Amino acid sequence: MIRRWASKFRAWFLGDRLLELARGFDPDRSRLDPIRLNVKNFGYQLARDLAPRLARVDPTGEPRNHGLTSKPTTQADMESPWFAHWCRELRIAPIYHRKLWEFAFALQVLWERGRLTSGMRGLGFGCGEEPLASYLASRGVEVTVTDLDPAQSVGRGWVETGQHTSALDQAFKPELVEQERFSKLVRLEYVDMNRIPSALDGRHDFCWSICALEHLGSIENGLRFVENAMRTLKPGGVAVHTTEFNYLSEDETVEEGSTVLFLRKHFVELRRRLEASGHQVGELDFSTGSGVLDRFIDVPPYTWDGAPEDIWGRQPEHLKMTVGRFPCTCFGLVIRRGG
């Protein structure tokens, strides 16, 4: 037993060679000490060792109502039948990664509220190259995907890293929908999320955004976006948004800049404001889970351009990560328009 774990340890931590590679891909070399590298290696290996759990989840009988409400990412969600179902629908192998949780959470929320049916109209904000538009079109949903005008996006990192929809064909996923159906049902508009045009008001059965509202410059801009996006819905329409949740702090956070981190109190305040306007928010669940991966907080760097694929063994798998000095995870918001 000891010999086997010693062998694993040597495989995970490759000494000077791994440290040299890591330092070669990060400009702040002082941050990449062996302790940091060990944290990443053990965390990613743990996710790989737990991967058979995901393969054993049986999605038979899904989708069905699980009563999802506003909540953060948890390991229990990743090991649930509803998560397995939506990964299968999106033709994505399930892994422990918060981005997949965001896609599955949004689709489960929309299904539970009867929005994934032919003839519905959906509006996506900051869509990038995510697969949701193609999947929705495959269900007969009319979709408007939006993103910032490319001229405003260059230099912010979104175009360069494939997180921006500069042309409609980048949102087309041939494994999910036929080209003819996609072209008929999906259209692209350039929209500044801080200035949603009134032409979009009152026309949609649902709207969504995936990890976009934290990039609007400030906490207040993000909260105001969620409020303003409600205008685009018909009465009774559903909004689902995911964003960054700084879950270990009550007061300190990143309040301004390219990526802000929302605190519990910000979501509570947002619910107060939305309900004062006649909308329905419902329960806010702040439990971040009790699984072993709920306690693994990943540390930078997360991606390195040109890095050999086998530095970490495979792509990072994490549910929690640090942004600056704050641990955070994804948080999903579910809102129904009043009226």
Convert the pLDDT of each residue in 241-270 to its tens digit: 999 999 999 999 999 999 999 999 999 999
Highest mean pLDDT among 41-45, 158-162, 328-332: 328-332
Nearest in space to 240 (alpha carbons), one of 252, 230, 250, 249: 230
| Number of neighbours of residue 188 by Cβ within 10 angstroms | 20
| Per-residue model confidence (pLDDT) at position 249 | 96
Q: Please, what is the average pLDDT of the chain?
A: 86
DSSP per-residue string spanning 258-300: SS--B-HHHHHHHHHHHHHTT-B---B------SGGGS-EE-S
Which pLDDT band, with edges at 50, 70 and 90, does 302 fall under? confident
The CA–CA distances, whole Å, from 192 to 26, 66, 225 equal: 32, 34, 10
Question: How many residues comprise the chain?
Answer: 339
pTM, two decimal places: 0.86
| Percentage, residues of the chain above pLDDT 90 | 72
- Residue 171 near residue 145 (C-beta atoms within 8 A): yes
For 296, the token pair is 């693994």
138 vs 71: CA distance, rounded Å: 27
pLDDT of 17 over the 80 cut: no
The CA–CA distances, whole Å, from 36 to 43, 77, 300 equal: 11, 27, 8
314 vs 246: CA distance, rounded Å: 27
> Collapsing DSSP states into helix, strand and coil, what is residue 252?
coil
**For range 309-324, the mean pLDDT:** 74
| Per-residue model confidence (pLDDT) at position 21 | 38
User: For strand 256-257 and strand 186-190, is the pairing parallel, antiparallel, or unpaired?
Assistant: unpaired
User: Rounded to the nearest 10 degrees, what angle do helices 34-56 and 15-24 cross at?
Assistant: 90
- Residue 232 near residue 200 (C-beta atoms within 8 A): yes
- Return the sign of the alpha-carbon dihedral for residues 161, 163, 169, 174: positive
Distance of alpha carbon 168 from the chain centroid: 21
- Residue 144 near residue 165 (C-beta atoms within 8 A): no
Per-residue pLDDT tens digits for 134-192: 999 999 999 999 998 776 654 444 444 444 455 688 899 999 999 999 999 999 999 99
| Per-residue model confidence (pLDDT) at position 25 | 43
| Three-class DSSP labels, 82-99 | HHHHHHHHCCCCCCCCHH
Which pLDDT band, with edges at 50, 70 and 90, does 315 fall under? low
196 vs 133: CA distance, rounded Å: 19
Which pLDDT band, with edges at 50, 70 and 90, does 16 fall under? very low
